[in-house]
Amino acid sequence: MKNIFLMMVFLITSSLSSFVLADAAHPCKPLEAACKADGFYQGGSSSGKGLFKNCIEPLADGKPVAGVQVEAADAAACKIKIDKMR
């Protein structure tokens, strides 16, 4: 019984760490950081400050967003990831 419990704890811990590491390496992270630094936030679409709809998505599509600067390579990598998720 103890071995089963330890095995479950190990599996859960390793799964969570993989999830966190994968999230940190997400290609849209640089866009997210730049957008948040300029005041965009999750749930802010109605005020024009929606993190994804008003900032990340347009940047990934190569469109300018006032006040937000990102590298073209970061935008292109994010665009590829978004297209794969659709």
pTM score, two decimals? 0.72
Looking at the 3D structure of the chain, how many domains does it have?
A: 1
9 within domain boundaries: no
In a domain, 36, yes or no: yes
Q: pLDDT tier at 8 (50, 70, 90 boundaries)?
A: very low
Q: Which domain holds residue 62?
A: 26-85
pLDDT tens digits, one per residue of 26-53 = 999 999 999 999 999 999 999 999 999 9
pLDDT cut 90: percent of the chain above it: 66
- DSSP readout, 8-77? HHHHHHHHHHHHHHHHHT-TTHHHHHHHHHTT-BTT-GGGT-BIIIIIIHHHHTT--BTTB---HHHHHH
Structural domain contains residue 14? no
30 lies in a domain? yes
Residue 64 domain flag? yes
Residue 10 lies in a domain: no
- With respect to residue 55, please indicate whether it lies within any of the assigned structural domains: yes
